[in-house]
Amino acid sequence: MDYPADMLDHSDIHPLFHGAPDSTEFLKLRKRIVRQTREAVERYGMVRKGDRWLVCLSGGKDSYTLLAVLHELQWRGLLPVELLACNLDQGQPGFPATVLPEFLQRRGVPHRIEYRDTYSIVMDKIPQGRTFCALCSRLRRGNLYRIAREEGCAAVVLGHHRDDILETFFMNLFHGGRLATMPPKLVNEDGDLFVLRPLAHVAEADCDRFARALDYPIIPCDLCGSQDGLQRQQVKQILDGWERNSPGRRQVMFRALMNARPSHLLDPALFDFAALDLKD
């Protein structure tokens, strides 16, 4: 896929890229992430011209990468939508509430900061020793949907990357008994909002290198991220081991998710096995 000749130089950039390294290594990284994001946006038909997108910013490496790359594509005229960054402050103790508003304001990024104390609800409802992720994510998602509607947005845009998608697939395989993962594009249950994952093709390691190279102020999750023994962490360790033993294995498995063959699986709802017959 070709890009304008000046697309990746530093002479004309969005403020989110100010201070970007001039190294060849970083330029290749940036080009790869931009290309992969644009490929996902186009492959899965994410854009309706003139829509408004609520870009969810947690303060983690993935959401910073998402924000920067979408603004780069918009800056270059390659993403004809309006972007509104949104951080949902969930009331976790010690959360640095001023970091993201100051970051977004300095870089001229349109944004909304919303405070909702879902932390107290999670801590009250989940017994000691149980994982918080499911309830926390439901509460967060409900608030983000509400904000999107209030802001006239057609889509809630999330920073899940290739590795998140792979890990979810194996969690469903190992623990849920189904072949399913996070889709790059879906419609919410009420049918009024898209949920988009433009980083679907981007590796987690690339998000990490990108955000650190630009010295974005990373905010760790001290709620679910602080718990040991999570299923996702266990799956991640398995995938890490496979990758060490066979470099490139993650990408091969990811390509398999784009190459499903229902006739070679076992679900009669996807393929009509009963109708198969021999030639006369």
pLDDT (tens digit per residue) in 17-38: 988 999 999 999 999 999 999 9
pLDDT averaged over the chain? Answer: 89
More confident call, 94 vs 261: 261
Q: Output the DSSP codes for 2-61.
A: ---TTTTSSSS--GGGTT----HHHHHHHHHHHHHHHHHHHHTT---TT-EEEEE--SSH
Does pLDDT of 12 surpass 60? no
| Residue that has been written with the tokens 């920067």 in this structure | 68
- How many C-beta neighbours within 10 Å does residue 93 have? 8
pLDDT tens digits, 193-241: 999 999 999 999 999 999 999 999 999 865 554 444 478 889 999 999 9
| In the block, residue with structure tokens 């992720």 | 133
Please say if the pLDDT value at position 11 is more than 50. Answer: no
Higher pLDDT: 177 or 129? It is 177
State pLDDT tens for residues 181-193.
Answer: 999 999 999 999 9
Cα angle: 41, vertex 45, 67; to 5 degrees: 30
**Residue 158 pLDDT > 50, yes or no?**
yes
**Tens digit of pLDDT for each residue in 34-49?**
999 999 999 999 999 9
* Token code pair at residue 39: 């490929």
Spatial separation of the C-alpha atoms in residues 141 and 84, rounded to whole Å: 16
pLDDT at residue 2, rounded to an integer: 44
**Radius of gyration (Cα) for the chain, nearest Å?**
20
Confidence at residue 5, expressed as pLDDT on a 0 to 100 scale: 40
Under a CB-based contact definition with an 8 Å cutoff, are residues 240 and 193 in contact?
Answer: no
* Residue 220, pLDDT score: 80
Return the pLDDT at 224: 53
Pick the more confident residue, 139 or 61: 61
185-187 and 194-196: which strand pairing? antiparallel
Residue of 274, 236, 211, 276 lying closest to 21 (CA atoms) = 211
> Does residue 119 have a pLDDT over 90?
no
Q: Is 238 left (phi over 0), alpha (psi -120 to 50) or beta?
A: alpha
**CA nearest 250: which of 262, 260, 235?**
235
Mean pLDDT of 65-82: 96
| pLDDT cut 90: percent of the chain above it | 73
pLDDT for the residue 228: 42
pLDDT at 124: 66
Q: Domains of the chain: which residue ranges?
A: 15-275
User: Among 89-93, 99-103, 120-124, which range has the highest average pLDDT?
Assistant: 99-103
Residue 88 or 186, more confident: 186
Residues near 12 by beta carbon (within 8 Å), at least 6 away in sequence: 6
Check pLDDT > 60 for residue 6.
no
Q: Which CATH class is domain 15-275?
A: alpha beta
The mean pLDDT of 237-257, rounded to a whole number, is 96
